Amino acid sequence: MTENPITLASSATIGEAVKLFTEKKISSVPVYAATGEIIGQLTDLGLVRALVLHQLQPEKYSRIAHCGDLLDPVTFVAPTDSIIVLMKAIMKSPNHRVLVRESGIRAIGIVSPKDLMIKLVTSSPDVHHIHKAVQSITT
């Protein structure tokens, strides 16, 4: 899990989002509204689409908020959820990333398939348990 994930305000400009993605070398970022609520996940593909819209109609598509339909829905898990719940959430998430949230609206972390892979490889899990987890996801 990446703790304290980078986030992006929906009021950010398309240019600010491009700068964030390129400088931080990220492929997705949670987007939050002025209320602090996370409203979606902007992926690199979504940002490319937003950039094209901005170039075609700069007045209409100047901020991330103007491109809300390009955001992926957010999937949340709790820090206490089992690895099975986490695997199911990652598989169901459109961008295969899930946000970890304890309480309230703030995300305390983000989990990607790579994080899950590292956890599975380094923790010497019970293979039978993992096999059952994978079966439960795919059936």
Domain ranges of the chain: 2-138
Q: How confident is the model at residue 105 (pLDDT cuts 50, 70, 90)?
A: confident
Of residues 120 and 17, the one with the higher pLDDT is 17
pLDDT greater than 80 at residue 28? yes
Q: Domain 2-138, CATH 3.40.1160.10 — does that match?
A: no
Reduce the DSSP state of residue 131 to 3 states and report it.
helix
Distance CA 24, CA 5 (A): 11
pTM: 0.83
Could you tell me which of 23, 96, 29, 24 has the C-alpha nearest to residue 64?
29
pLDDT greater than 80 at residue 132? no
